Copies of this chain bind each other. A is one copy, B any other.
Amino acid sequence: MDTRWLDDDERAAWLKLMAVVELLPGALDTQLRRDSGLSHFEYFVLAMLSEAPERTLRMTQLGRLTNATLTRLSHVSRRLDERGLIERFQCPEDGRATNARLTEKGWQTVVQAAPGHVGTVRATVLDALTPEQVGQLHAIADAVLPRLDPDRRLAVLYDETAPSDIAS
């Protein structure tokens, strides 16, 4: 199988993208840990719950939203439970399912963490871009995401037209 290698433009764009992908998670994680004692993933879990009806989600749906395996989510939610940021209880309609609900303490934690997080998002990415570039980034991600996420597991997050069956 003969390989189409990358030309100079492609190679440069790719390496820069890889650098961003490599550095961005660490930047977000560092700020959140320092200022709020949360990993980025933990913050994201709490943020998803904070936007859900009743601040409650089934584990499976929460896993889809956060791109986590059920195993990972089970471990993380147990720790968040032990820290009093969420609580878990068996779903009344389906005895197999577990619901995770944000506690008042968890809500306060998200509310306090959000400004600093948004500030980091601005400082590292958005404020560095012109409005045109924000639009271009939008379009580039739209072109790439169907290939990265063919099953549209994360579509609820990035596609406004996605069916948001979060409520059930």
Contact = CB atoms under 8 A, between A and B. Distances in A.
Interface of A: 1, 3-6, 8-25, 27, 67, 114-115, 118-119, 121-126, 128-129, 131, 133-149, 154, 157-158, 160-162, 164, 167-168
Contacts of A161: 8, 12
Number of copies: 2
A158 to B, nearest CB: 4
Contacts of A149: 19, 23
Given A148-B124, A168-B11, A17 B137 contact: yes
B115 A15 contact: no
B27 A148 contact: yes
Nearest to A165: B5
A167 B139 CA distance: 27
B16 A158 contact: yes
Nearest to A119: B3
Contacts of A162: 15
